[in-house]
Structure formats: structure tokens, C-alpha cells
Amino acid sequence: MSAQSIEPFDAVSVIRAKRDRGRIPDAEIDWIIDAYTRGVVAEEQMAALAMAILLNGMEPAELSRWTEAMIASGERLDLSGVSRATTDKHSTGGVGDKITLPLAPLVAALGAAVPQLSGRGLGHTGGTLDKLEAIPGWRASVSNADFVAQLNEVGAVVCAAGDGLAPADKKLYALRDVTGTVEAIPLIASSIMSKKIAEGSSALVLDVKVGTGAFMKTEADARELARTMVALGTAAGTNTVALLTDMNTPLGLTAGNALEVRESVEVLAGGGPSDVIELTVALARLMLAGVGITDVDPQDALDDGRAMDSWRAMIAAQGGDPDAPLPTARHTHVVTAPASGMLTRLDAYAVGVAAWRLGAGRARKEDPVSAGAGVVMHAKPGEPVTAGQPLLELHADDPERFERALQALQGGYDIGSAADFTADPLIIDTITA
């Protein structure tokens, strides 16, 4: 008969401490994250603790310790073999947010290394890995040895995180999804930052989206999340800064996997939509400044082809063919402008849900995505439109998907007069330590 191991603490005491608005002691934080990862703490106990955190919050030092415990549940990437300074970026997700695609090779072209561990889309927000997998041959899985080698040779890697990185977060993330605790700002911040700190970059820039198509709908919530994450990164010794950026309107003129790759290549070729260029260049400047590279202009590297060369090398290093034709959907449906005037609003959430229903996104993480599906926008807010002109173009492999996508777009845009339109800034604020 084997003796059952005796645990130093119990979950109920930890839950009660947070339920009663107390601070969980450091040793108990370390224990409960470890015990939950080991399966000693039951799912219903962690669900109760997550709800208590949602309702009562966490003190900064308490959250910092919680994040450290999440990191300690797995491995840390060792980037000591990378010859360049490492700098990374994380976006909280939006619609048409293809920024990582031109940004990583752009920053690499200017002398830094970008170790970017990315995710897949869920719901109305797109995933960077889904977009890149639209490129024939490209693979998301990279070994640790190849990861370091590619950072030295090319300067940028965008790939999937291995199972060894913050495994506690993987369990807790799935639990939050089914227990109504996704919105807990301490848990969002620690989820993002545990993985980013474990990734080992010396500098990190956060793009915190705010608006209808973002996770954070209000500027106050987005600001709180940005400040919380900047504080966590700073406490862990990572040079961290955040931008608050607008997500009431989709970024660029496309939402969907291959469609967004095509647009990203246009940006790397020195063209593309002005909002995508503006945000890419602003984030590149901050990423480079974070590692002391301040004597370069990212716009120059887009204009002279260096960023494109870097992109081609990055894609080829992961098995992709940068010259291969991208997948296209089998069917299209055009939505025309119902009146003449100025497009005064194009709702990011409506476009995101439409793209998702067309097949570009997934409802569950196991679902497949269609590489060619999505939405092409023929006008953006502030531009004149004429009755009958193409406003939106829907792309799908299955034409039966159009009806539900069109339902998502009902009430998703307004056409009025120039007097009705106010241009909101894309970049709302910069949050520093």
C-alpha cells in the first residue's frame, strides 16, 4: 500500500482567502498553480478560485507571483544562443489584424531578432498561424534548435508554442472559457504575460485593442489591461511598453487567412492600406527602441525591399513557398452600397463574425478553417461611396455560408454625409512603466 503524498496546503483555504478579498500568500500561489497542473486541485476548485479572482481582483505583487508560478509550471526558452537582441510583440486580437506578418520580417531586416510564438483564431478574431498556413508548405511547428538557428540566420520566427511553455496556462485558459471567467483582467494579463516572459525576449511591445471587434470593448478596460501587463513585464525584467489601438473598424481591407497574407505582401512591397502601414511602422519603432536600435527608419526598409527579402527568407525557412499562388475561395458574393454618400461606420465585430461564418474562423479550437474564405472591403469609413458600387465582397468555399454571413453584416455599416463622420485615431495612447 503506497502512502498518498501529503500536500502542504489545501485548495479550499486558498479559495476562501480570495473569496473574502484577501491576498493569497506567495507559497500558496506557488502551490496551487503547481497542484492544479499536476491534477491534485480539481477543476471545480480552480473554477471557484478563478471566479473569486474575477470578482475581487489581485494586488500587483500577488499577480506578479501568480504569473511567475505559471511560468515555473513549464520551461523557459533559452535564447542565449541568439546573436541579435531579441524583441517581440503581442496583440490582444482583432479583425483584419495581420500586423505580425509584415512586422516580424521588417524588424528582422533592421537588425533585431523576433521570436514570435503565435496562436490560432477563435471566434471572430483571426489567428496568425492560420493565416501563415494558407501559404503552401509553410509549417507552424519548429524545434527549439531550429528556432534559435532561424533567429540567427533570418532574424524572425513565427511559430506555434510548444506544450512545455506555461502548461498551467493551457489548462486554466480552457477552464476560463467554460466558466464565465474569461473577462478577469488579472487572469488575461497573467495568461498572456506568462507565455511571453517564458519566451525569453529582452523587450516586448503589446498592442492592446479597444472597440467592438476587440476583447476589450471600453478604453478604461483596455487601459487597465495594458497597465497590468506592462507592470508584469517590467517586474520580470522584460522591457515592456503597450499601445492602445482602435478596433471599432477592421484593420486594412481584408479579413480572412489567404486574403490577409496577400495584403501583408502588398505592405512588404511598399504598398498596402495606410492603417496597416501606420501600425506596422509604429510597432516596429517601439520594438527596435526596446533593444536600443533607434538610428533606423522602418519605412525605409518597406520601401527599399529589405523587409520583403526578410519575409521570403522567413517563409522559406519554415518550408513555405513565397512564390506559390495563395488559395482562393470557390465562390464570391458582392454586397453593394444601398445609397450614395460617405461610409461613416464599418463595424469590426460584424465583419469579423461574417468572416468567421464564411469559414475563415472556428467555433472550437479543433475546427478546421478555410484558407480562402473571408471578406474584402472595397471602402473604409471616411470614403465616398455611390449607390450600387461594391462595398464588401464575401469569399467562401460553400455558397450556403453566404446567408448567415449577410445576417452578421446587417446593421454593420452606415452611409451618411461627411458631416456625420469623425475620424478616430488608430493609435490612442502609449502605456509605459
Residue 98 falls in the annotated catalytic set: no
Is residue 191 flagged as an active site residue?
Answer: yes
Which of 65, 89, 90, 306 is catalytic? The answer is 90
Catalytic annotation present for 195: yes
Instruction: Write down the catalytic residue from 190, 191, 194, 310.
Output: 191
Indicate if 169 belongs to the active site. yes
List 18, 65, 89, 176, catalytic entry: 176
Q: Which of 30, 88, 130, 169 is catalytic?
A: 169
Give the 3-state secondary structure of the chain: CCCCCCCCCCHHHHHHHHHCCCCCCHHHHHHHHHHHHHCCCCHHHHHHHHHHHHHHCCCHHHHHHHHHHHHHCCCCCCCCCCCCCEEEEEECCCCCCCCHHHHHHHHHHCCCEEEEEECCCECCECCHHHHHCCCCCCCCCCCHHHHHHHHHHCCEEEEECCCCCCHHHHHHHHHHHCCCCCCCHHHHHHHHHHHHHHCCCCEEEEEEEECCCCCECCHHHHHHHHHHHHHHHHHCCCEEEEEEEECCCCCCCEECHHHHHHHHHHHHCCCCCHHHHHHHHHHHHHHHHHCCCCCCCHHHHHHCCHHHHHHHHHHHHCCCCCCCCCCCCCEEEEEECCCCEEEEEECHHHHHHHHHHHHHCCCCCCCCCCCCCEEEECCCCCCEECCCCEEEEEEECCHHHHHHHHHHHCCCEEEECHHHCCCCCCEEEEECC
Catalytic residue among 89, 195, 357, 395: 195
**Residue 209 known to be catalytic:** no
Q: Where in the sequence numbering do the catalytic residues fall?
A: 90, 169, 176, 191, 195
